[in-house]
Structures are given as structure tokens and as C-alpha cells.
Chain A
């Protein structure tokens, strides 16, 4: 069945460092891919998404590119801030389906 694998955390970075959180997926066809972010004490909110191969999703300085050949959707940001500290979830929804499959989440700590 469909699945999403994320790098284990926590990831600890200093402010202004470069961020990469790896995400790979297993799915048939061409799923939509998402990154959701969960700030402490809150529900998840959509950060960015891509719906077809080679699409790049971007928001708030974060980017991720849908790579069909490597089945990956890695999240990157050039310069993190303390306010980016949160849990990041990679997810997919299969074409024609009613379900979203989430990865286990990666916790990011950014130090001042």
C-alpha cells in the first residue's frame, strides 16, 4: 500500500542555518504530495503542496520539488528562524482516493 517515510528527528539547527528534511514515498500512479506543519499545541496546517512531477511547492521560504524518478519530496529552507520550530509532516493523497497518508513527522528545533 501507499506509504511515506521521513527522516527521524529531532533536527536541531542554529538560526540562519540551511534546513533539509528528507521525505520519500511509495505509491502507484501520480499522488499529490504535501508538507504540513504543526506548531506547539496546535493542529496541522498546510505548508506547501505539489500535484504533479517536477512541480515545486513553496511558501514562507520553504520549498519542495516533486521528484518522480527518486519518489522524493524533500523540504528545504535557506535560512531557518526560531519561529520555524515545529513538527513537519510529509503526506500524500492518491489519485482518485479519499485518504491522506502521513509520515511520522520530524521535529525541528531552531536555537537563537
Chain B
């Protein structure tokens, strides 16, 4: 049981480049989400999904796209990278919605992204 896995661990991009951060979970969790972590700001929700084929925006969605074609995978796409997107990105999953009974979120190890 690998839990939540993320690739790559580190990435450096130039302004304007695009890329996809990968996230996968093997716990059959319905709920998945992407956060960015910036110093002094905690974690901010980018996008989330409540099941395959269903996604919605979080607090800071601009510049990012997501899709959920399977229960296991939830990739995050940066369309045209900007220096403001330099951050650490975490993917998380949970059995149910965060406000429900089974609401513990399991986090991946993170991707550290630098945009030059």
C-alpha cells in the first residue's frame, strides 16, 4: 500500500513552460485535492475532486488545470508557468469529504517547483 505518491519531487521550469504534476493514490479514496504551501501562508487549496469526472475550484485555481479520469489519478497541469507559482505542491486524498466522519486527509511527499 503506497498511499499517496507524487512525481516529480523537484522541478525547475522557465517562465511560460507547461508541465504536469502527477498524483496517484491506491486507497480507493473518492476525495482528492491539490494544495500549494508558501512560507507563512499555510496550505491553500488549488482544486479538488469528489470522484472520477468531478472537479471544482479551490481558493487559488488561476493558472492551474485538473482532470480526474480515474479514481486513482489526479494530475495538476500548469498551463504557462510564472514565477508566482514557485511553491511546494501537495496532493491529498481522503475516503470522504473533509467534513464527514472519515475525513482524515492523507498527503503525498510534495513536489518542490521553482519557476525562473
A and B part of one assembly: yes
Chain A interface residues toward B at CB < 8 A: 4, 31-32, 36, 41-46, 49, 51, 89, 93-100, 102-105
Residues of B within 8 A of A94 (CB): 99
Residue A99 contacts which of B40, B41, B90, B98 (CB distance < 8 angstroms)?
B98
Instruction: State the CA gap A69–B63 with chains docked (Å).
Output: 40
Selected A-B contacts with CB under 8 Å, 5 pairs:
A31-B99, A41-B109, A42-B110, A49-B104, A97-B97
A98, B43: Cβ atoms under 8 Å? no
| Size bracket of the B interface | 20 to 34
The verdict on A98 contacting B42 (CB below 8 Å), with A43-B90, A46-B105, A93-B99 known, is no
B42, A104: Cβ atoms under 8 Å? yes
A100, B98: Cβ atoms under 8 Å? yes
Instruction: State the CA gap A31–B101 with chains docked (Å).
Output: 12
Residues of B within 8 A of A41 (CB): 109
Instruction: State the CA gap A61–B71 with chains docked (Å).
Output: 35
Residues of B within 8 A of A96 (CB): 99
Instruction: State the CA gap A100–B31 with chains docked (Å).
Output: 12
B107, A98: Cβ atoms under 8 Å? no
The verdict on A105 contacting B42 (CB below 8 Å), with A43-B90, A99-B48 known, is yes
Please name the residue on chain B nearest to A105 by beta carbon. B42
Residue B41 contacts which of A31, A93, A104 (CB distance < 8 angstroms)?
A104
B97, A98: Cβ atoms under 8 Å? yes
Residue B4 contacts which of A4, A32, A43, A104 (CB distance < 8 angstroms)?
A43
Shortest Cβ gap from B48 to chain A (Å): 6
